[in-house]
Amino acid sequence: MANSFGVFSSQTFLIFVLLPSLFSALTAATNTLTPRPFNKIYAFGDSFTDTGNTKTATGPSGFGHVSTSPYGSTYFHHPTNRYSDGRLVIDFVTQSLSLPFLPPYLHNKDNATYGVNFAVGGATAINHAFFVKNNLSLDITPQSIQTQLIWFNKFLESKGCKAAESSVPQCQAAFDDALFWVGEIGVNDYAYTLGSSVTSDTIRKLAIPSFTNFLQALLKRGAKYVVVQGLPTTGCLPLAMYLAPEDDRDGIGCVKSVNNQSYTHNLVLQAQLQNLRQQFPQAVIVYADYWNAFRMVMKNPGKYGFKEPFKACCGSGEPPYNFNVFATCGSPSAKACPNPYQYINWDGVHLTEAMYKVMSDMFLSGTFSRPPFSYLLSRKQRDG
């Protein structure tokens, strides 16, 4: 093999050396000629969107190893406090818009030129006080979507934009050319009440008004371009499969009762989004259909390159889902699979980078956003 390198001429060597530099120059020139549609992104949500606001010491104790290997092993090659082996949907969104990864609000406030991520693992749509009142606060983080709104308002104030002065240049700078990406929120609300007397109807009736108030506050402050992810098919997660009786299954092998719960939640959410569109006609509000996108992959995983639709890549080894709530990913007895790109699920709840990539493609370029994300981009281009 070593002798084969001798056939390369000096011209060939120069080509290999110069091509990367030439490509970088062309890319830079293209970026200069084609302005980015958005200069910044503000992200909100829970652990599906969190890029580092929680760490091992502050996240939900059920998944208390996010700061340790093998989290982050696929793309970053080290833990980044993302609940995955690599990038999340929000990371693929930023890359698709030629923006850098978003810094987490709690740990990197100074680097906010291109936006901030306020999402936090374990977050709920309902305020924390509700769970405390019902003795359901043992294993949860205290932050809710309303907490993230408070953080966002504090961030704006730090930039000279106060609530009563929305027309000042500092506020215009914060909102102009900004995309608001709201990851799914509400899965934790239902999960935290499992086994309690609190019904899913109660959670839905409290969670959606709280979430709607959050969106309304963003829109009143000046948000013009908003993407809202619905809940995924949470009944397809290994945790749900592990906990549910085997006779509670739907046509694709997932937990029927849990998927129905998420589906009903999303129906009510979509009705509220339509009301908000009427209240704020100047804004573009896109619904990213996580439930149907996820279900599409589960119906035919092989089409998307997946061989393991139900088993976690990183877990205890316990059959049939490679999952045990007492030995989750990152704990001493858990191991990661060598091929996470063939798995939909990473650690029993959160998804692999490969699955997040498929989901982001479906939202950004596919048919699972309403109106299409391309419409949002065209409106932004038209309105300037």
What pLDDT was estimated at residue 260? 98
Model confidence band, residue 168 (pLDDT cutoffs 50, 70, 90) = confident
| Average pLDDT value for residue range 313-338 | 94
DSSP state of 320: T
What pLDDT was estimated at residue 108? 73
Asked if the structure places residue 296 within a domain, the reply is yes
Is-cis flag, bond preceding 35, omega within 30? no
Asked if the structure places residue 3 within a domain, the reply is no
Domain of 275 in residue numbering reads as 40-304+351-383
Helix (H) / strand (E) containing 232 = none
| Average pLDDT value for residue range 299-317 | 97
Q: Which residue has the tokens 């996240």?
A: 59
Asked if the structure places residue 325 within a domain, the reply is no
CATH code of 71's domain = 3.40.50.1110
Q: Which of 67, 289, 350, 369 is catalytic?
A: 350
Asked if the structure places residue 267 within a domain, the reply is yes
Known catalytic residue at 262: no
Model confidence band, residue 52 (pLDDT cutoffs 50, 70, 90) = very high
Known catalytic residue at 47: yes
| Average pLDDT value for residue range 273-296 | 98
The average confidence (pLDDT) of the chain is: 89
Tokens standing for residue 143: 């932050």
Of 236, 159, 187, nearest in space to 50 by CA = 187
Model confidence band, residue 62 (pLDDT cutoffs 50, 70, 90) = low
Asked if the structure places residue 346 within a domain, the reply is no
Asked whether the predicted pLDDT for residue 230 surpasses 70, the reply is yes
| Average pLDDT value for residue range 261-267 | 98
Asked whether the predicted pLDDT for residue 128 surpasses 80, the reply is yes
| Average pLDDT value for residue range 160-166 | 79
What pLDDT was estimated at residue 18? 45
Residues contacting 155, CB < 8 A, separation 6+: 105, 109, 112, 116, 118
Asked if the structure places residue 231 within a domain, the reply is yes
The predicted-structure confidence for 182-226, as pLDDT tens digits, reads as follows 999 999 999 999 989 999 999 999 999 999 999 999 999 999 999
Model confidence band, residue 161 (pLDDT cutoffs 50, 70, 90) = very high
Known catalytic residue at 350: yes
Instruction: Report the interhelical angle of 353-364 vs 89-96 (nearest 10°).
Output: 50
Model confidence band, residue 55 (pLDDT cutoffs 50, 70, 90) = confident
Model confidence band, residue 61 (pLDDT cutoffs 50, 70, 90) = low
Structurally, the chain folds into a number of domains equal to 1
Query: Is the model more confident about 56 or about 95?
Result: 95
Model confidence band, residue 109 (pLDDT cutoffs 50, 70, 90) = low
Model confidence band, residue 57 (pLDDT cutoffs 50, 70, 90) = low
Asked if the structure places residue 100 within a domain, the reply is yes
Q: Which of 67, 265, 347, 360 is catalytic?
A: 347
| Average pLDDT value for residue range 227-236 | 98
**Helix residue spans in the chain (DSSP H):** 10-33, 89-96, 128-133, 145-158, 169-175, 187-192, 200-221, 238-243, 256-279, 290-299, 353-364, 373-383
The pairing of beta strand 225-229 with beta strand 178-182: parallel
CA distance 49 to 362: 16
Model confidence band, residue 72 (pLDDT cutoffs 50, 70, 90) = very high
The predicted-structure confidence for 1-48, as pLDDT tens digits, reads as follows 444 433 334 443 333 344 444 444 444 433 434 678 999 999 999 999
Q: Which of 47, 144, 210, 316 is catalytic?
A: 47
Asked if the structure places residue 154 within a domain, the reply is yes
Tokens standing for residue 203: 């959670």
What pLDDT was estimated at residue 163? 76
Percent of the chain with pLDDT over 70: 87
What pLDDT was estimated at residue 9? 42
What pLDDT was estimated at residue 149? 98
Model confidence band, residue 181 (pLDDT cutoffs 50, 70, 90) = very high
